Amino acid sequence: MAFRHRRGFIKESEEYAKEFRQELGLTDCSPLTALELADHLSIPVWELTKHPNIQADVVEHFTNGGQNDFSAVTLNNGTYKEIIHNDSHHPYRQNSNIAHELAHIILGHPPKPPMLKDGCRNFDKRMEREAHDLGFTLLVPKPAALVAVEDFLSLDEACQYFHVSEQLLEFRIRKSDAKRWALNRAQKRSGW
């Protein structure tokens, strides 16, 4: 069975993206990086290789052979939160990794230990999907997806403008229905 968000989640995600851009004096379709948003929300973000409390052998593992084993994590201590992300990833991937962690914080997801007692990963599908989709929406809300379709000659140019991967941008264009929206606008302008 396909995953379905709780009622109103998609609208709520778009509203978060719009609200944060307004607070920062940006337009609805302006690019917004996760680091800019974290700074606005006063959430410290550490690169894995620069965090003072992470052992060198751990850094070595996650930046070389185990690079795909760790993207980012939010550390919680009461109301204090900080994000550590794997800075050996491509900058666009780092952007989405941090946005994903910010989404967990914005949505008020409760912190959980990363592992269960049996050694399996502690993974809540609903919370992870919400963080995934809100994180992507924060980076490319619906108006930005429309701009990507209408105003750029190539997907690559739009990716550079929004600081996101092609996969993320294609996902947001598809989920926001930006291509159909752009087609309808073009037909209306042409009097069709």
Q: Is residue 84 part of a domain?
A: yes
List, in order, residues 6 or more apart from 36 with CB less than 8 Å away.
24
How much is the average pLDDT of 154-181? 96
State the Cα–Cα distance between residues 109 and 135, nearest whole angstrom.
Answer: 13
pLDDT in tens, 8-35: 899 999 999 999 999 999 999 999 999 9
Whole domain around residue 52: which residue ranges?
A: 11-190
User: Does 41 score more than 80 pLDDT?
Assistant: yes
The secondary structure element, H or E, covering residue 63 is helix 56-63
* The two structure tokens encoding residue 76: 């919680």
State the Cα–Cα distance between residues 150 and 148, nearest whole angstrom.
Answer: 6
Q: Is residue 32 part of a domain?
A: yes
What single string gives the DSSP state of each residue in 103-116? HHHHTTPPP--SB-
pLDDT of residue 113: 74
pLDDT of residue 1: 54
- Tell me the pLDDT of the chain averaged across its residues: 92
pLDDT of residue 34: 98
For residues 8 and 37, the model is more confident at 37
Q: Is residue 156 part of a domain?
A: yes
pLDDT of residue 48: 96
Q: Is residue 4 part of a domain?
A: no
pLDDT of residue 6: 82
pLDDT of residue 123: 74
Reported in sequence order, the residue ranges of the chain that DSSP labels E, i.e. its strands, are 45-47, 72-77, 80-85
Total domains present in the chain: 1
For residues 161 and 119, the model is more confident at 161
State the Cα–Cα distance between residues 61 and 69, nearest whole angstrom.
Answer: 9
Q: Is residue 5 part of a domain?
A: no
pLDDT of residue 73: 94
